[in-house]
Structure 1
Amino acid sequence: MLRLRPYKPDDAGYLMDWLKDERTVRLWRADRFSYPLTKEQLEQYWEDFLSDENAWIFLAVDESGKPCGHFSFRRVDYAKNSAHMGFIVVNPKERGKGYGREMVTLALRYAFGFLRMERVTLGVFTVNEAAHRCYLSVGFKDEELHRDYDCFDGEPWDYQDMAALKDDFKEAVFPV
């Protein structure tokens, strides 16, 4: 069972440990971070989110309180009832346990239940097949596909916009 808690600056070490190689950083970075990931980059990330009233960073922790995942919400738009989810990562040592699916489900419960959003978006490189399958499994649907959006090591990467709608969400949403 996972729980969500706010990200703290001291959590930077977890992200630097989970995002060690250039390819993984490129899959995660959304043009914000460069390889190698540094404490300074993550401090700036924290400060930027702290000063943005429409953005939050979360950590997912396991039963013992040990961090095992990370994501954020940004571009929260109360007029349009939408939010964008990003910077999603699960500790590589914990993958294959369903933590990604559980964390994204909890994130959607938060967005739909507590923030009362109607729509949550995210983007994923299609070469990240496991992440794409995870998002589909919790209710995200493919929207616009951006061909040759990026390139890594001579390999062109397509980028898939995805969205989940509150009305289609199958999991229980906590009442507010």
Structure 2
Amino acid sequence: MVRLRQYKSSDAVKIAEWVKDKDAFLKWGGELFGEFPISAETIDEKYRLNNGDCKEPDNFYPWIAFDENGVFGQFIMRYLHGDNKILRFGWVVVDDSIRGKGYGTQMLQVGLKYAFEILGVDVVTIGVFENNELAHKCYKKVGFIDKEIVSKQPWNVIEMEIKKEDWATSCFHVIEI
């Protein structure tokens, strides 16, 4: 069973291992971390010391996904524009040795359950680079829908969202936390 827990400094080593090449680094959002290659120290500094560089205090929540085999993925949650009813997922990454096997989907399903049932948000958003087809398919499988394409560097971003009422009528909400 997939579960989530809060990020710990020791997780940074694993996350850095999953971001092995420059393409994966950029698709993960690595340009916000600086230059490739990424180090565990840089990740930990960003996650723990700088609060992810969020402008609002106490608005950066990194999560680690794990199952009986250990840690396999991570993502962050943060509220948008000071509104505690709109949550943004970001910096999603899964162990590269198991990508494409449904782990990212399960991780995000548990994240959505937490967001809607525990945090009580109305909308969850996420962005994905246009050239990241695997992630885009994963997000759609979870129930996110495309809203708009935003021109950004290095690639355009597909902005996606899922509303609580749409999630509640889908089959995705029946998973356990």
TM-score (norm 1): 0.87
Question: What is residue 165 of structure 1 aligned with on the other side?
Answer: 163
Aligned to 2:2: 2
Inter-CA distance 43–79: structure 2 relative to 1 (3 Å threshold): closer
| Aligned partner of 2:75 among 71, 74, 77 | 71
- The superposition leaves residues 53-96 of structure 1 with CA deviations (integer Å, 9 ceiling, x where unpaired) of 122111100223x1101000013566450111000011011122
| Helix, strand or coil at the partner of 2:138 | helix
Q: CA deviation at 1:9?
A: 0.6
Distance 1:166 1:60 in 2: 22
How many aligned positions are there?
168
One-letter identity of the residue aligned with 1:19: V
The residue that corresponds to 1:45 in the other structure is 46
* 1:140 pairs with one of 133, 140, 144: 144
Q: Deviations over 1:134-166 (max 9, x none)?
A: 10111111111024x223xxxxx2211111110
Give the 4+ runs in structure 1 shifted more than 3 A: 76-80
Counterpart Cα distance in 2 of 1:78 and 1:11: 28
Contact 1:142/1:162 (<8 A) preserved: yes
Give 1:5-154 correspondences, 5 Å limit: 5-29=5-29, 31-33=31-33, 34-46=35-47, 47-49=49-51, 52-64=57-69, 66-76=70-80, 79=83, 81-147=85-151, 149-151=152-154
Kept in 2, the 8 Å contact 1:77–1:83? The answer is no
Within 2, Cα distance between the matches of 1:98 and 1:89? 13
CA contact (8 A) 2:61 2:77 kept: yes
What residue identity is the alignment partner of 1:72? I
Superposition RMSD in Å: 2.2
Structure having the larger proportion of residues in helix: 2
Counterpart AA for 2:163 = L
C-alpha deviation, 1:44, in angstroms:
1.7
- Secondary structure in 2 matching 1:172: helix
In structure 2, the residue corresponding to 1:110 is in which secondary structure?
Answer: helix
C-alpha contact (below 8 Å) 1:55/1:76 kept by paired residues: no
**Distance (Å, rounded) in 1 between the aligned partners of 2:104 and 2:84:** 27
Taking structure 2 as the reference length, the TM-score comes to: 0.86
Deviates more, 1:68-77 or 1:120-129: 68-77
